[in-house]
């Protein structure tokens, strides 16, 4: 009896405690500047502990009566996202502890507090986004998430560009909010229940495709599907690195969460919806990585890779929906699980990459890849962690990215034999897309890692670089450990994800299927283990072998030319050159070369610059805006500022109405 009493008490206490932490966070403003970080960390850890415990033991904590915050019954999808948010929020904040030290004296006391406060509120709002089901409550926390992340992005608002980017971000987020609001209202109007729970009955009796499209645009802006992505490659580089890691790692996944939530209420038109998602995802995936290749800003490159990874997640989800539409159980399970697991995986390796890109920025004060080089010697740990992140994001075994992509591949290959002609072609297109994305990612990350960390320094910015403090390495260690754990022990992670998928999509999960899959995954682990064992054995053999031989050092082979220097190395631009020669019709990278004249006696400097462009941004957003502005400018002649003209306009208008009424046109 006392236990039952305690249980019912805890159920009420847990949400109240969470609200208590939210209130407590305002204490940041009252504290001394040097205490604020520790205080925020304390609240963050407490909230993380609270939400993690409530998520992991939902059966204990489910309240018996609906709560006003509807903390009730966070289902498995919410729990999955809560755990992802918790992990990356913690590692990113730990990283911020070291990263923000450099800004401690530079930033005013108020900005310091606002930044920390915005961080913890971004965390709170994300947790609430995945818990709340009611439409309006959801939109409120969704808005809160946009505002708090906006405050985080403009941390260095002294830079006008950062402020402008931040405002641009805020506007685009509100555009997304508008779509969501309309979608919720349409569904709410028809069923009388605004929110995710009402969607099922709405979709049961109305056309699915329209409202879904509204939701898809609204959530897609957050997730960054091309062509809704234009805020993303601007905001990520502008934000401080821990924030970029958090935003790219988990915040954009809230868009994916929303899409999934809506998807599992869809009743009809599944095939078309699946096609829409798959199409946008393939496009985002391929274009995202293609645009990433030509960037020379390290963080912008990573931002475009977020778009690519959203594409991979979307491919998984799209295939899952198509599986649902055609009754292909295997494809449903593997597609959705691959997509969901990639949400987790991407949150790990992308935050890891952003942390280490941040360390590089802090050590060299530049994000321009062409000015870096040779950092592996100065920052060996940062280099190693960046390498782990790169390998994982390329989907290479034995890291975690491989597992999620493997699940999607497996779904594709297993569906080939039974599918019809057109469906086979669809699968083939997905397959080509997925392999292309994989290959392009390798092309991009050999560049990102190789040019930044290897070879010789390309400018004097590298000279004074040194390894970051141990505190800043701890988050990378945590993330890398998680990456390796998923890569080598995939079965433990795929099994719960598979259960979530089956629960939500309603696809049956046959014993045979799970058994087969788990056997496959454990064999992948085994093969991964063999690989690591072989590396160790060969490395030990190498050391033993070289001990008995003469090992000397010398200059790099210069083909007989000894005057070579760091300027002759490949740069980010030259690395992308042969690729952009192939892809330029789509990418439209601009090259500006100033040649030396032929008969000039004293030649001046020859310059060369490339400017990667975002065609979607210029064609789909900037061009219409320009056209609109030019129309407005033409209309502006009417705005004379003289009151008699305005009275004339009103008179003419009334006359028009009169005439129209007389002729019965109106």
Site track for another protein across 336-375, x = CB under 8 A: -------------------------------------xx-
DSSP category for residue 568: G
Residue 443 binds another protein, judged by CB under 8 A: yes
Q: Considering only residues 65, 160, 466, 549, which one is a binding residue for another protein as defined by CB under 8 A?
A: 549
Q: Please pick, from the candidates 412, 483, 494, 507, the single residue that binds another protein as defined by CB under 8 A.
A: 412
Q: What is the phi-psi region of residue 589: left when phi exceeds 0, alpha when psi lies from -120 to 50, beta otherwise?
A: beta
Q: Assess 283 for contact with another protein (CB under 8 A).
A: no
Phi/psi at 587 (5° precision): -85, -35
* Stretch of residues binding another protein (CB under 8 A), selected from 4-12, 179-187, 418-426, 609-617: 418-426
Task: Verify binding: residue 381, another protein, rule CB under 8 A.
Answer: no
Q: Please count the residues of this chain forming the interface with another protein, following the rule CB under 8 A.
A: 84
Under the criterion CB under 8 A, does residue 474 sit at the interface with another protein? no
Q: What token pair was written down for 586?
A: 């789509």
For residue 288, state whether it binds another protein (rule: CB under 8 A): no
Does 524 contact another protein by CB under 8 A? yes
Residue 593 backbone class (left: φ over 0; alpha: ψ -120 to 50; beta: rest):
beta
**DSSP category for residue 611:** E
Q: Which residues contact 591 (CB under 8 A, 6 or more apart)?
A: 608, 609, 610, 611
Of 251 and 488, CB closest to another protein: 488
466 Cβ partners below 8 Å, 6+ apart?
Answer: 363, 378, 379
Shortest distance, position 414 Cβ to another protein, whole Å: 6
Tell me how far, at minimum, the Cβ of 517 lies from another protein, in Å: 8
E strands, 238-327, are: none
451 by DSSP, 3-state: which? helix
Work out which of 38, 109, 207, 435 binds another protein, going by CB under 8 A. 435
Touching another protein, residues 528-547 (CB under 8 A): 530-531, 534-535, 538-539, 542, 545-546
Residues 6+ apart with CB under 8 A from 606: 593, 594, 595, 596
User: Using an 8 Å Cβ cutoff, are 336 and 76 in contact?
Assistant: no
624 lies in the binding site for another protein (CB under 8 A) = no
Computed from CA positions of residues 281, 246, 241, 152, in that sequence, does the dihedral angle turn out positive or negative?
Answer: positive
User: Which of 19, 171, 481, 527: binder of another protein (CB under 8 A)?
Assistant: 527
Using the rule CB under 8 A, give the single segment among 77-85, 395-403, 625-633, 641-649 that binds another protein: 395-403
Could you tell me the two tokens for 518? Answer: 């788990």
Two structure tokens written together for 92: 């990113």
The smaller minimum CB distance to another protein, of residues 383 and 465, is found at 383
**Which of positions 194-233 make contact with another protein (CB under 8 A)?**
none
Is residue 656 within 8 A of residue 269, CB to CB? The reply is no
Residue 585 in the binding site for another protein (CB under 8 A): no
Judged by CB under 8 A, which of 24, 46, 69, 396 binds another protein?
Answer: 396
- Rule CB under 8 A: is residue 9 a binding residue for another protein? no
- Residues 245 and 294: their CA atoms lie apart, in Å, by 21
Does 62 sit near another protein (CB under 8 A)? no
463 binds another protein (CB under 8 A): no
Distance CA 362, CA 496 (A): 39
């Amino acid at each position: 009896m006392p236990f039952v009493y305690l249980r019912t008490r805890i159920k009420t206490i847990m949400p109240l405690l969470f609200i208590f932490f939210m209130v407590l966070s305002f204490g940041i403003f009252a504290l001394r500047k040097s205490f604020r970080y520790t205080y925020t960390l304390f609240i963050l850890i407490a909230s993380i502990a609270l939400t993690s415990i409530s998520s992991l033991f939902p059966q204990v904590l489910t309240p018996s009566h609906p709560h006003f915050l509807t903390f009730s019954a966070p289902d498995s999808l919410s729990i999955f996202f809560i755990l992802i948010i918790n992990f990356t929020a913690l590692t990113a904040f730990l990283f911020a502890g070291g990263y923000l030290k450099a800004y401690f004296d530079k930033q005013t006391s108020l900005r310091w507090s606002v930044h920390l406060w915005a961080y913890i509120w971004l965390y709170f709002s994300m947790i609430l986004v995945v818990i709340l089901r009611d439409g309006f409550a959801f939109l409120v926390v969704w808005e809160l998430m946009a505002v708090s992340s906006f405050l985080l992005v403009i941390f260095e608002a002294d830079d006008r560009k950062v402020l402008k980017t931040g405002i641009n971000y805020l506007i685009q987020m509100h555009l997304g909010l508008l779509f969501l609001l309309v979608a919720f209202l349409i569904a709410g109007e028809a069923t009388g229940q605004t929110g995710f729970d009402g969607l099922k009955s709405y979709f049961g009796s109305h056309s699915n495709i329209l409202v879904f499209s509204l939701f898809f645009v609204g959530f897609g802006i957050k997730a960054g599907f091309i062509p809704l992505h234009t805020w993303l490659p601007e905001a990520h580089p502008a934000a401080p690195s821990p924030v970029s890691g958090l935003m790219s790692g988990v915040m954009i996944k809230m868009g994916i969460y929303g899409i999934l939530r809506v998807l599992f209420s869809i009743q009809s038109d599944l095939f078309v919806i699946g096609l829409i998602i798959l199409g946008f995802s393939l496009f985002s995936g391929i274009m995202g990585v293609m645009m990433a290749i030509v960037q020379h800003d390290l963080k912008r490159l990573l931002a475009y890779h977020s778009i690519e990874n959203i594409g991979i997640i979307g491919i998984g989800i799209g295939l899952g929906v198509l599986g649902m539409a055609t009754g292909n159980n295997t494809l449903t399970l593997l597609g959705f699980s691959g997509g969901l697991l990639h949400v987790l995986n991407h949150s790990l390796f992308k935050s890891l990459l952003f942390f280490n890109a941040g360390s590089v920025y802090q050590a060299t004060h530049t994000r321009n890849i062409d000015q870096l080089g040779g950092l592996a010697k100065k920052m060996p740990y940062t280099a190693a962690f960046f390498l782990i992140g790169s390998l994982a994001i390329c989907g290479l075994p034995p890291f975690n990215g491989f597992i999620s992509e493997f699940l999607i591949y497996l779904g594709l290959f297993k569906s080939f034999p039974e599918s019809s002609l057109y469906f086979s072609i669809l699968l083939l297109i997905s397959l080509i897309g997925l392999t292309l994305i994989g290959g392009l990612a390798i092309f991009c990350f050999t560049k990102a890692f190789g040019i930044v960390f290897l070879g010789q320094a390309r400018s004097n910015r590298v000279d004074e670089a040194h390894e970051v403090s141990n505190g800043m390495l701890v988050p990378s260690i945590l993330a890398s450990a998680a990456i390796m754990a998923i890569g080598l022990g995939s079965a433990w992670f795929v099994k719960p994800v598979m259960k979530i998928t089956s629960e939500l999509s309603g696809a049956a999960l046959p014993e045979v299927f799970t058994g087969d899959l788990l056997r496959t995954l454990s064999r992948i682990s085994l093969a991964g283990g063999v690989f690591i064992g072989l590396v160790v054995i060969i490395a030990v053999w190498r050391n033993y072998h070289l001990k008995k031989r003469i090992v000397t050092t010398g200059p790099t082979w210069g083909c007989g030319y000894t005057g070579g220097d760091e300027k002759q190395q490949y740069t980010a631009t030259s690395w992308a050159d042969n690729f952009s020669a192939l892809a330029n019709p789509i990418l439209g990278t601009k090259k500006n070369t100033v040649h030396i004249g032929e008969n000039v006696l004293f030649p001046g400097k020859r310059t060369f610059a490339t400017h990667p462009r975002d065609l979607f941004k210029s064609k789909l957003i900037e061009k219409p805006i320009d056209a609109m502005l030019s129309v407005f400018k033409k209309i502006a002649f009417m705005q004379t500022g003289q009151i008699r003209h305005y009275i004339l306009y009103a008179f003419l208008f009334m006359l028009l109405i009169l005439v129209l009424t007389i002729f019965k046109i109106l």
